[in-house]
Chain A
Amino acid sequence: METNDTGKNIIIAGVGGQGILLFSNLLSKYYLKLGYELKISDVIGLGQRGGGVESHFRYSTKPVLSPFIKAGDVDYVISFEQTETLRFLHTLKKDGVIFSSTYELTSTSVNTGLQKPMPESKTELIKAADNKKYIINPDEHKSADFNISKMMNVVMLGYYAEFRGYSHNDMIQIVKENVPEKFVEGNIKAYEKGADIARNNLAAK
């Protein structure tokens, strides 16, 4: 774990139904325990259905002022949907890091033929970004224990915690305390899976 971490600016992105708010809620508990100041601002797009969701998550040793992070000030973009990842690439600091799922929910405008699909592969566009990036393809990590397409949020939490060198025990404790009883087991499996994928990815880099 980074010593003297004075705080970070994180954008968490995806589409409705991906559990972005749960992700930021769980993460907030962790930083609160460490005594950080926090501001978390959720932007939910037009209609809850299939719209984009973004959460501006800021923790700091000093009081956090703006609820929105200025483009160029973002340390991490954590995205559960790759179209949304592309929407936020410009916000990253030069040394900012991308965490992105390759999952894609085609935009309605493309589905209905009102807009042309992007000609390039979105995954390749993300790979071509100047920033450091960690890409997770949920299809490569299917598990019998949980539905990865529904639990990418907790998988990503495990991944992020491993990347940051955080205590998995503390994090799992937070998961236990904050998800309904009957989902705890599946969530812990998903969390551990995320941490696992991260260990392999990080070792490979």
Chain B
Amino acid sequence: MKTGKELGTIKMMNGNEAVARGAFEAGVKVAAGYPGTPSTEVMDYTNLRYKDIYCEWSNNEKVAVEVATGASFAGYRSLALMKTVGLHVAADALGGAAGSQINGGLVLVVSDDVGRIAGDDYNDCRHYGNMFNIPVLEPSDSQEAKDLMVEAFEISEKYSTPVILKTSSVICKTTSKVIIDENYKYEAKFRDKYPISFSKVIMTTIMTKAKGSEHPKLTKCFNDFVANMAQLAEDSNSAHYNRLELNSKKIGIITAGTPYYYAKEVLPEASFLKLGVINPLPKKMIQQLAAHVEKLYVIEEGHDVLEKNIKDLGISVIGKELFPKFPDMMRFTPDVIAERLVPDAEVRKPRTDVPFRLPIACAGCSHNFISSILKKHKIKAAADVTCGLIGCFPHMESYQLQKCMGSSIALTHGYNIAKNYSENFVAMIGDGGFWATGVNGLMNLVFNNSQSTVIIVDNSCLAMTGGQNVASSEFGFNYKPENRLDIAKVCEGIGIKDIVTVDAYEYETLEKSILNAVNAKTNSVVIVKKPCVTQFKLPKSEPFHIEQDACVKCRKCINVGCLAIESKKNNDGEFEIVINQDLCTGCGLCSTVCHKDAIKN
């Protein structure tokens, strides 16, 4: 970033930028990922700034991890990027790579959405460190994000293991300084150590039978990952990424990530063990801190992963008994620590009467047309993870069922077979969810003879995460027109009998198409086309307005879920329902629900 004055090698970077820079400095060759707040921009920055690195948005996270694993076996350093819920999708792929021989370093950059800042919670990717017995690294600021990214590749190769670099919404979205070596020359790092790499299942099968055999055909299959992790645990006691700060004997704190800084600011006198690698733990350092202080606390974002692992080492520590976990506590802040550990700390509480903000769709969003029609005809539906899930919120009440990304088609199939198709129950899914895993649900529905209806919202991108390309987009990192996948053709190829494609804004045609599909005694797909108005900055039409004389304030129009419609006090202090002229795109949807004909353009 240019500041006018040359700042030498100091750059201001957020965590995502710093991770991308780290990948560059580590000599990564292949980056594959799937978008997910808050870490999506790691890929964007990598693609934008470090052209030497091959980047792809894969179809889903499992595919991304497999791509990276293949590239790693080829000898090149590779990264896979996802948010923590994405790692659930990719867990089997990671399980396959864990414990196996690693040639080029393999690092999964995984981000926890702590504090529900951008929408999900109850997830903590560090559990995968325990489950698969692999290292997990966690930075506290941008400098560490870059440095630990490089370190992650070193660890991956030295101890032959995939590594998770865990970031959080706070790390990703906090900008702080990073020192850059301007003279660094990129070189794709290559290491070709193992001629084979099999999952540990195969390895164990062979080795259990072959105990004591020195035959190279057998030994080359074996990677002693348990010993490797034990070695890393031992080495981490003296590694630079873990830091013991012995100060006051009263309070000792074991911590990692941004909570280190919260605690450091509130308790500058305390003794700290600041972890860079949170799995495996440096037992000796922990023992040393425990012996030094009267009271030992663990301050960790997310679940009680560190706490349990420390207790497993036989060291007692105070954690969640003092700092209850989500949802009792949203996220750590300096305030939370001060309130519990600083005597007489002044506690400031926010006003409780300020109204909260529910999410809502952009003005002119195609999702609103679909949820409006479903509601109007009392058609029940499962929503996918898309911008359209806003229709699940209590002001909209358009959907009855909503689970994970790509799920709505199979959910609908299950519901309908159980109910013998006695109700009108359809699936709504985005083009992203469709390609991610939904297409599996669709194939399943066909060969299992389902008669369900699927509405695919084709807005040409992953809108909710900021407009990344999907298989059917007309853009993307590796886009070529001839390689674009066509949703209708794929549906046809799979064997869907009844396929229509409609423009979202053609309200009556859309309504008729959905009703026809629902009434058809066969499987059917309605593809609703309209590029995302926000991501593609579609031109606006004449805005609509509400004629106050005709309006009876029934709020039906507000419940279509459009950001442009507000209830506001007028100059006489009375509430009116109004359309924000700056925001309205003139899509006209609200006028279809007004029984008083008060909405005009």
Q: Which residues of A contact B (CB under 8 A)?
A: 15, 28-29, 32-33, 37-52, 64-72, 83, 86-91, 104-115, 117-118, 147, 149-150, 173-174, 177
Contacts and interface: CB of A to CB of B under 8 A. Distances in A.
A37 B10 CA distance: 11
A29 B4 contact: yes
B262 A66 contact: yes
A166 B527 CA distance: 55
B12 interface: yes
B167 to A, nearest CB: 13
A107 B357 contact: yes
A68 B387 CA distance: 29
Contacts of B175: 28, 38-42
A28 B12 contact: yes
Nearest to B578: A106
B4 A33 contact: yes
Contact of A44 (B117, B258, B559): B117
Given A50-B563, A70-B266, A107-B355, A87 B350 contact: yes
B12 A68 contact: no
Task: Across the A-B interface, give the 10 residue pairs with the lowest CB-CB distance, nearest first.
Answer: A47-B359, A112-B395, A71-B348, A107-B355, A65-B265, A70-B334, A41-B174, A108-B358, A67-B174, A66-B265
B325 interface: no
11 contacts: A37-B177, A38-B175, A47-B464, A49-B359, A49-B534, A65-B264, A68-B170, A68-B333, A70-B335, A105-B566, A107-B356
A64 B117 contact: no
A174 B362 CA distance: 31
A28 B12 CA distance: 9
B577 to A, nearest CB: 8
B346 to A, nearest CB: 6
Given A66-B262, A67-B258, A33 B357 contact: no
B446 to A, nearest CB: 34
Given A28-B175, A68-B334, A112 B566 contact: no
Given A115-B356, A177-B4, A65 B555 contact: no
Interface string B551-585: 00001001100010111110000010000001000
Nearest to B365: A49
B173 A41 contact: yes
Interface of B: 1-5, 7, 12, 14, 116-119, 141, 170, 173-177, 258, 261-262, 264-266, 333-335, 338, 346, 348-351, 353-362, 387, 390, 394-395, 464, 466, 534, 555, 558-559, 563, 565-569, 575, 582
Nearest to B359: A47
Nearest to A42: B173
B533 to A, nearest CB: 11
Given A38-B177, A47-B359, 11 more contacts: A28-B12, A29-B1, A41-B175, A42-B173, A66-B262, A67-B258, A68-B170, A106-B568, A112-B395, A113-B555, A114-B395
A66 B3 CA distance: 24
A122 to B, nearest CB: 9
A58 to B, nearest CB: 10
Contacts of A70: 265-266, 333-335, 338
A104 B569 CA distance: 10
Contacts of A91: 348, 350
A50 B3 contact: no
A9 B281 CA distance: 35
Given A65-B261, A70-B333, A115 B349 contact: no
Contact of B355 (A37, A67, A109, A147): A109
Nearest to A68: B333
B394 A90 contact: no
A50 B334 contact: no
Nearest to A91: B348
Nearest to B262: A66
A15 B141 CA distance: 26
Nearest to A149: B582
A49 B563 contact: yes
| B175, B177, B348 interface centre (most CB from chain A within 10 Å) | B175
Contacts of B582: 147, 149-150
A112 B354 contact: no
Contact of A41 (B4, B12, B170): B170
A43 B113 CA distance: 11
A90 B12 CA distance: 30
A90 B348 contact: yes
A111 B177 contact: no
A35 B505 CA distance: 53
B575 A38 contact: no
A49 B353 contact: no
Contact of A51 (B177, B357, B568): B357
A110 B355 contact: yes
B25 to A, nearest CB: 22
Contacts of B266: 66, 70
A181 to B, nearest CB: 15
